[in-house]
Structure 1
Amino acid sequence: MGWTESLRGYFGLPGARGVTGALTELVLWWAGGTLFWLATASTLTVIETLVAAAVALAAAVLARLARRAIPFAARPRLAWLRWAALVPVSAVADAVRLVPWLRGRQPEDLVEEHLPGSTGEAETGLRAGGIVALSATPGTVVVDSDTRTGTIRMHSLVNGWPHLDEVVAGSADSAHRRSEHE
């Protein structure tokens, strides 16, 4: 592999056969970023739309670079659907549980759970999906992930039903065990 190929790989530039895939990825990142910006805007104007499109284009390029730089295999997992279904339920439950916490009735807590602890691409993807799910609710945020031991540490303000942390840890471990046997 020559130095141009190595440089091309570093910047996430496609080879001669990968241009269509690279452009498709950039368009999807750009469209998603633009739509997200516009969905969160208080008013929709031409200027707001142009700014959204420009910022989303820059973010799309950076997202592609970041995705290619990280050894990550985001092979879709059935567990992710379960996590995605539980996140809104857990977010509402956490929001309700936070009301007494705001009055000073509940202590915060550092909680540890186990996710697959390897540095392989599939395990990194599974762990990343779990961390995103766990941090998507108002009551919990993941503050540390140790790939050697497979331990993640979460700052938890509230906990309880539907026990998203236990569901993510349990299904991540079982998905990891299944992928080891494949």
Structure 2
Amino acid sequence: MTANRNRNGPVGRFFGLPGARGVSGAVLELVLWWIGGTLSWLVTVSTVTLPETVAAASTALLGAVLARTARRAMGFQAAARGIWLRWAALVPAAAVTDTVRLARWLAGPRGESLQDQRMPGTASPKATGWRAAAMIALSSTPGSVVFYSDPDARRIRVHVLAEGWPRLDRHVSPGTGQGL
């Protein structure tokens, strides 16, 4: 009983020891971080070789442990939402169109703007993942970047260099994260 209490106390939570979800939840999270890290590494190499794959997998395993530890220490909760799939589908289209629009900057500077927008999601701690995913989506194209967020005022500031279809900001910003 004492060992279980210590394991789930502040120190155990900091180091990411299994808590309410148990060992299977912890292992699943580590495996997902590991796969994500390994794939992220491998898609950036010009040629996938055995040594490169071993380096990717071993580095990603360490990264998975550190990511879980950091997430648990911050109390970060990120329940995936279906709307994230729509954002993920729009990001490649926005990246291509922004790149084409930004090519005009080679001829000389064009207009840019700072836009204050409503922060997606709710103010609850459970919506942390929602807000983080929204800011990642808005910053993942060459035409815009979120450079300031104020959770208390529920606002984000986005630096926009290229505007137009598919207007990723309009799809992301109104998200309310209901149910969080």
Give the alignment's TM-score, normalised by structure 1.
0.84
Which of 48, 59, 73 aligns to 1:69? It is 73
Output aligned runs, 1:11-22, within 5 Å: 11-15=15-19, 18-22=22-26
Q: 2:38 aligns to what?
A: 34
- More displaced, 34-43 or 112-121? 112-121
Counterpart AA for 2:61: L
More displaced 10-residue stretch of structure 1: 78-87 or 56-65: 78-87
Give the structure 2 partner of residue 134 of structure 1: 138
> Is the 1:71–1:124 Cα contact (8 Å) retained in structure 2?
no
Secondary structure at 2:88's aligned position in 1?
Answer: helix
How far does the alpha carbon of each residue in 1:54-77 deviate from its partner, in whole angstroms, 9 at most, with x for none? 211111111111222233332333
How many residues were matched structurally? 176
**Greater helix share, structure number:** 1
Identity %: 52
1:38-49 correspondence runs (5 A) = 38-49=42-53
Q: Which residue matches 1:25?
A: 29
Unaligned runs of 5+ in 2: none
Name which of 130, 151, 156 aligns with 2:155: 151
Aligned residue number for residue 179 of structure 1: 179
What RMSD over aligned residues (CA atoms) do the two structures have, in Å?
2.3
- Counterpart in 1 of 2:171? 167
Alignment of 1:80-159 (within 5 A): 80-116=84-120, 119-159=123-163
Question: Aligned with 1:179: secondary structure?
Answer: coil
1:137 positional shift: 0.8
Distance 1:91 1:47 in 2: 32
